[in-house]
Amino acid sequence: MKKEIPKCIGVIMDGNRRWAKKKEVATFKGHNEGYKRLKDLISWTNELKIQNVIIYAFSTENWKRSEIEIKYLFKIFRKLIFKELDFLKKENAKVKFVGQIDRFPKDIQKGILKIEKETEKNKGINIFLALSYGGRAEIIDAVSKALKEAKSKNIKITEKSFKKYFWTKDMPDPEIIIRTGGEMRLSNFLLWQAAYSELFFTKTFWPDFSKKEFNNIILEFGEREKRCGK
């Protein structure tokens, strides 16, 4: 059987808090274990030569969480931005952040710009980190930009040209979306881009997600018949 490797995958990292509750430990420990698994995921995708991965790290709805939890998540974001450059270079990873970046503290915003610049020449995997991201918000923002340009330049917006207004315009549509944690929904993730994505839902909490399970999903993807409406 020919092994088919997707060019782009999306990952919804769900279950950190429930993992912590099950283990009877503090919520922050679940997020910390989830961070370790994120680094593993980058290595796994690189090993399989998957060219693009978009990771749902913080949604527009996550701002509703407690101030204490949000501050801890910011601590994790800072760790990734300011302390993982050597790891990203080792993985030859180019990093791009997508979402409402202007909602984050100034130091995080500056750090995002810095790490994007410092990894832009890496030629390995493209990592898109979705922070303060929501599919509806992205579509509304894209529509607003498209209407403004169409009016000022008197041009027609097509499905193909519409893509350039998205925050995710630099990545291909995901062929696979994986969600851990047992929930079977997209939760406002890539609503436009997921039109023909193969969906994989697993009950495994994100901190327990393994390389073996990931590889099995990629293998199953190769076995699925994908007609894309044809």
Q: Please tell me the pTM assigned to this model.
A: 0.93
Could you say which of 40, 62, 188, 208 is catalytic? Answer: 62
Judge whether 122 counts as a catalytic residue: no
User: Rounded to whole angstroms, how far apart are CA atoms 60 and 62?
Assistant: 6
Contacts 24+ apart (CB under 8 A), 64-72: 69/27, 69/28, 69/31, 72/27, 72/28, 72/31
Domains of the chain: 8-221 (3.40.1180.10)
Q: What is the pLDDT along the chain (230 residues), one digit of tens a residue?
A: 357 899 999 999 999 999 999 999 999 999 999 999 999 999 999 999 999 999 999 999 999 999 999 999 999 999 999 999 999 999 999 999 999 999 999 999 999 999 999 999 999 999 999 999 999 999 999 999 999 988 888 888 899 899 999 999 999 999 999 999 999 999 999 999 999 999 999 999 999 999 999 999 999 998 887 666 66
- Catalytic, 46? Answer no
